[in-house]
A = this chain, B = another copy of it.
């Protein structure tokens, strides 16, 4: 569950689920299971111990409230996790969590949960870019007012505006994929990040775990989190683009302007508790709320990165608490992009009317930029 009721009305259900207690617990157990498997393969622990641990990790039954209370007392959810596993596997207890530390479990679990969201984001971005690219091509010759500093400027095409949105999203998508490849990494460093406690096998264990979990194999990032920050920054960029598009759509949806709607009106969507006749631009609300939240959330994870020594006191914990909210904000942005991808309504007649009323009617040069952008979008226009 992503948080308060108010936060939940801004969240995307699948992203909420990705970070909800069951999913996060499962990810922590995946870490311990993969650790045991890898250590057995490297001969660090007996095969039957690994099997017992894997079985326990599959069938865990946890009292969430007790788990949280214990995690709070130790400032780490890994403490009750390891205690549970050790008790559950009985005589194999000494083979649980060997050479690992709390941060290994929690960072890896966080990466696994975020990965689910980013895979879905990638698909949603692709679909949105495709849909917008098609609309841009369709409206490559539809003139409308270009507006700067909130005042009419010169004419553009609707295609230019939409193609710019699409190209921005396509660029964001590429940058996000690149950062995810580096930033979604397994964490394994042990108590002080030295890979101590596994003899010389640490790197091999880490590599096996990365393969098993579908994450990158990276040097311990306990206290130097820039690949991760880079990924979070790129998530923020997607949200900024969605926010910018939502800003445009909401401005164009004002009935006095009337040039676009995020989607054709639908029963129950955007209803008002006070005015039955009203339809609110709910998708824009989600995207703009996300874009309002994200700069502050990004500031938090950057502030949290100034870690003390081999593990931070406060900064890292603040980051752990903030990443799920960044995922929620991303979810709001993705919801909005799906909404406009499938539903964006364009009123070419109103565009023309506004242009005549407020534009420099005489200008007919719409510039070559629309074509340039459409060329950039070719891969999405097949």
Contact = CB atoms under 8 A, between A and B. Distances in A.
Contacts of A69: 13
Nearest to A248: B309
A142 interface: no
Given A68-B5, A224-B168, A368-B203, A303 B307 contact: no
- Could you say which of A2, A100, A196 has the most chain B C-beta atoms within 10 Å of its C-beta? A196
Interface string A90-123: 0000000100111001100010000000000000
Given A219-B372, A244-B305, A74 B151 contact: no
A69 B16 CA distance: 12
A351 B20 CA distance: 43
A285 B68 contact: no
A153 interface: yes
Interface string A14-35: 0000011100110000000000
A345 interface: no
A187 interface: no
Nearest to A81: B273
Interface stretch (A47-55, A129-137, A208-216, A232-240): A232-240
Nearest to A328: B321
Contacts of A219: 164, 167, 369, 372-373, 376
Nearest to A267: B73
Contacts of A171: 226-227
Nearest to A293: B318
Interface string A42-80: 000000000000000000000010011111111111110
Report, as a range, how many residues of chain A touch the other chain: 35 or more
Interface string A182-196: 000000011111111
Given A149-B280, A154-B192, A280-B149, A314 B288 contact: yes
Contacts of A306: 240, 243-244, 247, 288, 291
A153 B278 contact: yes
Contacts of A154: 190-192, 194, 196, 275
A204 to B, nearest CB: 10
Copy number of this protein in the oligomer?
4
7 contacts: A5-B21, A76-B273, A101-B148, A191-B274, A195-B372, A289-B318, A292-B304
B318 A75 contact: no
A343 interface: no
B153 A310 contact: yes
A218 to B, nearest CB: 10
Of A11, A219, A360, chain B has the most CB atoms within 10 Å of the CB of A219
B150 A307 contact: no
A244 B268 contact: no
A317 B175 contact: no
A124 interface: no
A139 interface: no
Interface string A253-290: 11111000000000011111111011111101111111
